[in-house]
Amino acid sequence: MIDWFRGEIDFLHDPIPAGRVLSIDADGTIEWDCVKSVVCRSSHETSVKIKSSGGNGEGRATTLMIDGNLSKFLQGHNVFGSRDLNTLLLLAFRKVFEVYAGYFGKTLESLRNVRQAEAKIKKGDYKIKMLDINQLYDVGNDASVEAWLHAAHMRAMSRHGKSSRDKGTVYLGKSSKRWAFKFYNKSREMLAKGKTHQLPDHLQNLGLEDFIKGKLRAELRIFTKELQKHGITHGYHLNPTTLDELFTAYLGKIDMTTQATLIDEQLMKLPRAVYGTYQHWRQGADLRQLLPHNTFYRHRKLLLEHGIDINATHLAPEHNNVVPLMRIIEAVPVANPAWAYERGLIAA
């Protein structure tokens, strides 16, 4: 899905009222002068920043900058969404016009300018300055997502160097001005304190909370210079297929050959002591020496119900649930659920 977008649309209009930022030298000379962006809120109480710029010599702006999370602005959430950038931007532009309709006016001229801007967006004739491309992967359960993130933090690397972790999110190239990746547990993000990532009230209990459980979110952020390296400057250079290819190409720049342990949902429900025995067995411990006689056979009986015999030597890594990190990422990504379209949860 497309998440964050920053770019410019050709749109002739009266400049949106906004403040200015000035840099003034000691002698009072204005060094530079910049128009501030303003916040445009949608009906979901989510927002994007917009700014009028350019000029035609008559005091009118010729471009409109949009900077923000298009999925959240249109849907109220970014659990899943679309990779049709033209459609997302067109819908976002229409929402901006709805909010500022009273200011832009509804004269024949202003409506004609809007239609011309929409026609250009449909053709992809707009500038792209920055883009986030996201993908979900089903890891099975919350504990396995966290195990994957821990392993990625310890071992994943890219041309930027080793990964870093902050508040549960694993970053590669966090401060890069060209491209960066981050991986996180979307379910935990939605349940965190504060309203930044929580679902708005009207979207709660519609299936989003259950759908996102056990899902790993991977997010590529790519900036102007890196986009230009691929010859990407405008929307017409991208479509869902090329976005997939771009995402996959940059994912391949990450060295993630270490292993992570995926944890079976049923094993997680075992008593703590039995689960601990399973972990020791998986690590190759001699449980007959470690556990009292009766405890050993009691735990063995419970684990046999899950196909695990702690009386036998633990399995080799390639046969148990220890898998290379990249195997998860190379698996088939999670598709948008059909019910999301039926319930109007995807902007299209």
Tens digit of pLDDT for each residue in 171-220? 999 999 999 999 999 888 887 766 667 788 888 888 899 999 989 999 99
Local structure of residue 234 (DSSP, 8 states): B
pLDDT, one tens digit per residue, over 47-87 is 999 999 887 656 788 999 999 999 999 999 999 999 999 99
Beta bridge partners of 164: 171
Domain boundaries, the chain: 2-129, 130-259+325-342, 264-320
Whole-number Cα distances in Å, 235 to 10, 11, 72, 81: 12, 15, 20, 18
Report the C-alpha gap between 141 and 138 in whole angstroms. Answer: 8
Are the CB atoms for 328 and 139 separated by under 8 Å? yes
- Amino acid identity for residue 3 in this structure: D
Cβ pair 249, 181 in contact under 8 A: no
At residue 265 the predicted structure's pLDDT band, cuts being 50, 70 and 90, is low
